[in-house]
Amino acid sequence: MFSNRIAGSAKFLQMPSEAQLLYFHMVLRADDDGVVESYPLMKLLGSPSDVFKVLVAKGFVRQLNEDQVIVITDWLEHNTIRADRKIDSIYKNLLVEVAPDIPLIEAKPRSDVEDNSRRLGGQSTDGLSQVKLGQFAELRSDGEYKIEKDVDEKPSKTDNRVNDKLAVFRLFGEEKKPWWIHKQQKVDALALFDSYNLDQLKKAVSIARDNRDDQFCPKINTPSDLARRMESLLDYKERNRIS
């Protein structure tokens, strides 16, 4: 949704068309808290930095960090989502710290689903707690993922489904940074499947892994990194014609 009151206001229409276009894209791509990474959008649209500064100066957006993560100040006028359908932003802590005056909708558990952990960051009820380190996948030389199990008991179908998803994000085998032991990393990994299918995520991981030496390709080491950088990777894919 997009507020006609804002789009038809003199304050908005007096801005350059490039600034209006960037704002439209920000609203379209923002998460449920109105937060979005503006840099990938600027690269996608070819917008100069002055266009971003216009939106900040006019008060349409507020910059949250040096990476040009922004929050849309009138977000709740554009989109009011039901509390039991809302997924908290991965930047929620940053948003609350930098812009505590921005009104937020607090996510509530859904009554029609069994597991709300991916939405609320709580303890999963789908068998995630039973996943063991040895059950995560190793990346084979042919680019496919193979799940290795170090337990004698037969895993449930739910365990296998969780393992298959988490295996996608065993990106570079960095044993010194075992992200998979952290609950929030697992939650972020599973949450990505709400927005992207398995093939898209495998492609994004492949792009990040195979182009690590390219300064324009985001450096991805954890599922949380991937969640923040999906748009950058999609932009990189388009710019370099990666199929």
The tens-digit pLDDT sequence of the chain (243 residues) is: 788 899 899 999 999 999 999 999 999 999 989 999 999 999 999 999 999 999 999 999 999 999 899 999 999 888 877 877 878 889 989 989 998 888 888 877 766 555 555 555 554 444 444 444 444 444 454 555 454 444 444 545 544 555 566 666 665 554 445 555 567 777 777 777 777 777 777 787 777 777 767 766 766 767 777 777 777 777 776 666 655
DSSP state of 35: E
Q: Within its chain, how far is the Cα of 1 from the centroid?
A: 20
Question: According to the model, what pLDDT value does residue 15 have?
Answer: 95
Domain boundaries, the chain: 4-98, 117-239
Question: According to the model, what pLDDT value does residue 134 have?
Answer: 42
Which CATH number among 1.10.3470, 2.60.60, 2.60.40, 1.10.10 corresponds to the domain 4-98? 1.10.10
pTM over 0.75: no
Q: Within its chain, how far is the Cα of 128 from the centroid?
A: 20
DSSP state of 16: -
Residues 19/4, Cβ–Cβ less than 8 Å: no
With CA atoms as reference, report the closest residue to 204 among 232, 233, 170.
233
Alpha-helical runs (H) found in the chain = 4-7, 10-13, 17-29, 38-45, 49-57, 75-78, 92-98, 117-120, 157-167, 183-191, 198-210, 223-239
Question: According to the model, what pLDDT value does residue 69 have?
Answer: 94
From first CA to last CA, the distance across the chain in angstroms is 31
Question: According to the model, what pLDDT value does residue 109 have?
Answer: 78
Question: According to the model, what pLDDT value does residue 196 have?
Answer: 77
Which residue do the tokens 């059950």 mark? 135
